[in-house]
Amino acid sequence: MSLSHIGAWLVALVWFAWASAIDTQLTLGGETSYWVPSLGIALLVAWAVRMEVGTLWALACLAALAKVSFSVEPPVAILAGNLAVVMLVRFGRRSFDLSRPLARSLVAGMVAGGWLFWTWLVLNARHGEGVHPSWEVLMQAATSTGLLTLFLGGVFAKLPGARVLLARRSLR
């Protein structure tokens, strides 16, 4: 691995950390917080559909590390959620062209709704309580994140450091 690849992975960590910090601040409360899109999920999906399959596990671990820094959720649950996203993308890439904007936004929407449901399951397992998310809430999160990925997914692929990561053989 060259020095430019190491630098690109560190820059990616910074992008994921910023996305996680912004997500945390925007969803601190209020009734409209479910309409706020998840920047971390949009960034993860936008990069995962374009990356080489062998580097997706490293990307999931990097995204989890950044999210753990700004979240109160258990680190194992965050890592499991990010690995599930990678498995979904790997499975989807076998059958569909996920690099297209509409497919990418549908995957991001599914992941956002699934992530919200996963968070509820973890809270319920830890504390035995929690408000079950309604279908309306899941659809709000999925729609807003899907639209963000639809309109800005191409921009996320052009962020500084992303070009090196999205090129072939970024871990060698």
The pLDDT score that the predictor gives to residue 130 is 62
**For 52-71, what is each residue's pLDDT tens digit?**
888 999 999 999 999 999 88
Q: Pull the structure tokens for residue 122.
A: 């973890």
- Alpha-carbon span 23 to 168, nearest angstrom: 30
The pLDDT score that the predictor gives to residue 11 is 94
The pLDDT score that the predictor gives to residue 129 is 67
3-state secondary structure of 103: helix
Residues contacting 123, CB < 8 A, separation 6+: 129, 130
CB atoms within 10 A of CB 30: 10
- Alpha-carbon span 48 to 21, nearest angstrom: 20
Residues of the chain with pLDDT under 50: 170-172
Do 83 and 111 meet the contact criterion of CB atoms below 8 Å apart? no
The pLDDT score that the predictor gives to residue 99 is 79
The pLDDT score that the predictor gives to residue 120 is 83
pTM over 0.75: yes
